[in-house]
Amino acid sequence: MIAKTGKWVMACGPSSRDAEYKQVGEKQTPLAKFGIKVDESKNELGQSEARWLNCDCWGNMSGIGRRIEKGDVVLVIGTLQKSESNGKVYENLRCEFVSIQGKTGLSITNDPGGAPEGFEEFTSPDAWSSSAATAERPDPDELPF
């Protein structure tokens, strides 16, 4: 899944590989790189084609990014950068928020003020089980499907 709002892109999908971690440049800036599958469709021959998004986590973002393992479902928010090489377009996301779904406490944002502008910060999975959240859910027996 991939969505865009303003300058921000939000994507979620399974990681294609274990994150690659390295330190780059004279200042040895930490960098974690990984890829996630954001879409899959069938081509005209009926073969599955996946859309992949390369993610870069710089500085303190690399602390969570380096923990990503192949198959982890990852939620990322950042800015999209496209490049072309040999006629193929590559999409890179510079991550400003990373969360590894299902791994408690493994999310981080670059902004000490919380979620990027335009996004609400979700702080606790317990909020979904609160009486206010469950009060708005319809009775499954009343659903038309």
Domain chopping of the chain, boundaries:
2-142
What would the CATH number be for the domain defined by 2-142? 2.40.50.140
Place of tokens 């380096």: 66
Work out whether the CA dihedral 144, 3, 60, 74 comes out positive or negative: positive
Q: Write out residues in the chain with pLDDT < 70, as ranges.
A: 102-145
Q: What is the pLDDT of residues 58-82, one digit of tens each?
A: 998 898 889 999 999 999 999 998 8
Judge whether 59 and 111 are in contact, CB under 8 Å. Answer: no
Cβ burial, residue 56 (10 Å; 0-12/13-18/19+):
middle
CA dihedral 80, 85, 89, 91 (to 10 degrees): -30
